[in-house]
Amino acid sequence: MTAEFLDWPVPSSPLAEVEYSQQATRFSVWSPKAEQVKVNLYRRGEGGVPFESYPMHLQVDGTWTVAVSGNLNGVFYTFQVQTAGKWKSETPGIFAKAVGVNGKRAQVLDLKETNPEGWERDARPVLRSFSDVVLYEMHYRDFSMDKESGISHKGKFLALAEQGTKNAEGLATGLEHLKELGVNHVCLLPSYDYGSVDEARLQMPQYNWGYDPVNYNVPEGSYSTNPEEPAVRIKEFKQMVMALHQAGIRVVMDVVYNHVLDAGTSAFELTAPGYFFRKHADGTYANGSGCGNETASERPMMRKFILESVLYWIKEYHVDGFRFDLMGIHDVETMNAIRKAVDQLDPSIFLYGEGWAANKPAFPLELLAMKGRMVQMPGIAAFGDEMRDALRGAWNNNKKGAFLTGVSGHEKNVKFGLMGAIQDWAAAPTQMISYVSCHDDMCIADRIKATTQRASKEERIRLQKLALTAVLVSQGVPLIWCGDELLRDKKGVHNSYNSPDSVNAIAWKLKTEHIDLFHYIRELISLRKHHVAFHMGKAELVKKHMEFLPVKTKNVVAFLLHGQAVGDTWNEIIVVLNSCKQTVKVRVSQGTYTIAIKGGELKESGLGVFKGHLLAIPPQSAMMIYR
Ligand code: CA
């Protein structure tokens, strides 16, 4: 920690900017260097003037407090801080738990009132081990905006709480689709209050991924049915969590503690100027996020903030996991502190992140939670971009293909990903997220289209199946981007963070058109769940019981799993990934095997029998046999 912050006291009690009771409300805000601080009370979430303002009083722990008597439930408030003789703009504080439209003012709210019926009985679906996790990353609008989604609450939290929704041909959509697919975690793109969608103008279609945080501890208003009424978004988020839990699906929040929408006008800067952000020697904001600023997790109050925010989402909203955006901007110590605190609540809560930053952070690299430091962060996973790039090509060149499109030289990194990165940066295969596409960059269907020359749709579907087979037979933790199981596309758009629904929304008629692809992915997920050999969970088991078969042909990867040794009902499992345009032959031990996958078809109980030692794998497809 830089010496200049040593004289900023840090409270030992949890951050609580509002403590409500029917008799009185106690406000507090951390601002050790302020000259004066006041709290302004309002009747409404926007407009008008305060009906009351109270000066606050500095405590030894650096917080300013005031208790206001009376029942303040429903009253809106802002804090205001004076430094260098000047009053700064009003802010809802750094830990607002309820806010009005666009998050400008916080609200005193009895949170118990926001609990939906049955909330006290809501339970986290059982998870035996991180090796059982199957992630499905999604955006509310992508998933529900299509006119054929059959979902009423399009683009809302409640879209994921609707039962029995169907597309025009009667196939399941929404929550029913997720149940049918068999994923056990959804990772929701930013769901906290962010700034890039104007909640006061929702009649205008607006789309954003939401990587521009405003209030970290409040659900985003545009995903609620009424952003003007603070309790509504809170209750609806909880309804969504409860519906997903009842469907056996855990909820992962995408958390973006590494930067804010705008540092200068952020609650961090308006309450404790200069403290929460890293700066260069010349006083300018460091920009490891590529979004104009980077937070300083190594400073005790920022670390405390992240930690308590994570715990708050778990306790108040029953969230089951977290994806840390640009985790490489945070320090290792903070990430380990989060794992430790979360373990005390529930060690089955899954934590993972992006083990990189957009630009070089203004902090010693060896202390940052980059992918190369994962061995120092047990129980936390990172995205495995090696296999992603080896399959589809690097993120910075849309037109360049790799293994999938027959470019040789990528076999090594495909193998690297199949093993769960344990030959290098992962101490356990569950520390690697296995994926071929996520919200960033082109989705896999677009990428395959962009990197194949005049390929027919049939050929592109073959490659899509091959890509997702690699992901789902990897020892890492598989992640599927929403709609990849339906051949969804984004009209070729690479960075679709603010593209309209016409680009981002999944057309649910795709499920009807590509039901064969959907069935293949669904059966692959089911097969993975049934067979522990595909997710052994421990590096020493993978090293011992997974072996790559010698293959001379380029663009072919073959491996053998000794299933029985890890408790699988299948003993010898052989998987071959062939991206060549012709049938290839691979030598296996002489014997009689059951065929589970061949030529884009999958049947766990068997598609037929293979006898012999020379296995023929059809073009551009995966093959799996077992005995
Ligand atoms: Ca917002």
Mean pLDDT over the full length of the chain: 97
CA distances in angstroms from 460 to 349, 448, 538, listed in the order given: 36, 7, 34
Residue 178 CA to ligand 1 center (angstroms) comes to 27
pLDDT of 6 reads 86
Residue 338 CA to ligand 1 center (angstroms) comes to 26
Any idea what the Cα angle at residue 393 is, between residues 387 and 395, rounded to 5°? Answer: 95
Catalytic residue set: 325, 354
Mean pLDDT of 1-5: 66
Does residue 508 carry a pLDDT above 90? yes
User: What is the spatial distance between Cα 312 and Cα 440, in angstroms, rounded to a whole number?
Assistant: 28
Note the pLDDT tens digit of each residue in 431-466: 999 999 999 999 999 999 999 988 999 999 999 999
pLDDT of 81 reads 98
Residue 226 CA to ligand 1 center (angstroms) comes to 12
| 450 torsion bin: left (phi>0), alpha (psi -120 to 50), beta (else) | alpha
Tokens 């589809």 sit at which residue? 392
pLDDT of 499 reads 97
Decide: residue 540, CB within 10 A, 0-12 exposed, 13-18 middle, 19+ buried.
exposed
User: What is the spatial distance between Cα 38 and Cα 28, in angstroms, rounded to a whole number?
Assistant: 10
Going by DSSP bridges, is the β-strand pair 76-83/350-353 parallel, antiparallel, or unpaired? unpaired
pTM, entire model: 0.98
Residue 218 CA to ligand 1 center (angstroms) comes to 9
User: What is the spatial distance between Cα 218 and Cα 566, in angstroms, rounded to a whole number?
Assistant: 44
Note the pLDDT tens digit of each residue in 157-214: 999 999 999 999 999 999 999 999 999 999 999 999 999 999 999 999 999 999 999 9
Residue 490 CA to ligand 1 center (angstroms) comes to 24
Mean pLDDT of 298-322: 98
User: What is the spatial distance between Cα 223 and Cα 236, in angstroms, rounded to a whole number?
Assistant: 9
Residue 102 CA to ligand 1 center (angstroms) comes to 5
> And the tokens for 74?
């429903």
Strand partners, 171: none
> And the tokens for 354?
């992006």
Asked if 615 and 591 touch (Cβ cutoff 8 Å), the reply is: no
Residues contacting residue 615 through CB under 8 Å, at least 6 positions apart: 574, 576, 585, 586, 587, 588, 623, 625
User: What is the spatial distance between Cα 25 and Cα 340, in angstroms, rounded to a whole number?
Assistant: 32
Asked if 413 and 407 touch (Cβ cutoff 8 Å), the reply is: no
pLDDT of 2 reads 54
Asked if 314 and 308 touch (Cβ cutoff 8 Å), the reply is: no
Residue 461 CA to ligand 1 center (angstroms) comes to 38
Does residue 3 carry a pLDDT above 70? no
Which pLDDT band holds residue 505 (cuts at 50, 70, 90)?
A: very high
Q: Is 54 helix (H, G, I), strand (E, B) or coil?
A: strand
Which pLDDT band holds residue 1 (cuts at 50, 70, 90)?
A: very low
Residue 263 CA to ligand 1 center (angstroms) comes to 16
Strand partners, 433: 383, 477
Count CB atoms within 10 A of the CB of residue 281. Answer: 6
User: What is the spatial distance between Cα 565 and Cα 625, in angstroms, rounded to a whole number?
Assistant: 17
Residue 222 CA to ligand 1 center (angstroms) comes to 6
Which pLDDT band holds residue 4 (cuts at 50, 70, 90)?
A: confident
Asked if 363 and 297 touch (Cβ cutoff 8 Å), the reply is: no
Residue 611 CA to ligand 1 center (angstroms) comes to 61
Decide: residue 619, CB within 10 A, 0-12 exposed, 13-18 middle, 19+ buried.
middle
The fraction of the chain above a pLDDT of 90, given in percent, is 98
